[in-house]
Amino acid sequence: MTLFEPIFAALERAGARYVTVGGVAVVLHGHARLTADLDLIVDLAPQAAANALDALTSIGFRPRLPVEVDGFADPAVRERWINQQGMTVFSMWDPDDPLRSVDLFVEQPIDFEELWARSVVVDIDGTPVRVVSIEDLIRLKRIAGRPVDLEDVAALEEIEEVGREQ
């Protein structure tokens, strides 16, 4: 998680409201697997989204597409990206370290306030990291439905079962 810790630290400093989802969340729930990027669902209220963007740009992240970064915080712009370009995530990357990339969901497949309320906080090197609940992660993985997501669902259900037995 060393690769992602500075991202989480920047989000924390900015007071950004986010929930970690995707492969990193799977790893943080206890299933070792490779993942290439950090997937986040952020609060899409304009100021809250701007806080997350400010955190990411402050540590060198830039949009992968030739768009203005501030567009993500504007609901009308996001809606245009979804309808005209079929965008599902707003991808950002660090030109100084191409291994560091972050995908921000442009729509929330589950209401953000519900995700936030059920999320858990994990400590990574002294930085609190907000992680989607295992139940919501399973739901998100089922929505995505790719083979790797379904493999994650099986592993997460096993982790959930072991947790119930303890």
> Quick count: other Cβ atoms within 10 Å of Cβ 28?
19
CA distances from 162 to 22, 32, 93, 152, 159 (A): 21, 16, 36, 15, 5
> Which residue ranges make up each domain of the chain?
5-133
- pLDDT tens column, 18-31: 999 999 999 999 99
Provide the percentage of residues in the chain whose pLDDT is more than 70.
99
Q: Give pLDDT tens digits for 51-80.
A: 999 999 999 999 999 999 999 999 999 999
Instruction: State the Cα–Cα distance between residues 104 and 133, nearest whole angstrom.
Output: 18
Topology at the third CATH level for domain 5-133:
Beta Polymerase; domain 2 (3.30.460)
- Binning pLDDT at 50, 70 and 90, where does residue 98 land? confident
Buried/exposed 76-102: b ≥16 CB within 10 Å, e otherwise: eebeebeeeeebebbbbbbeeeeebbb
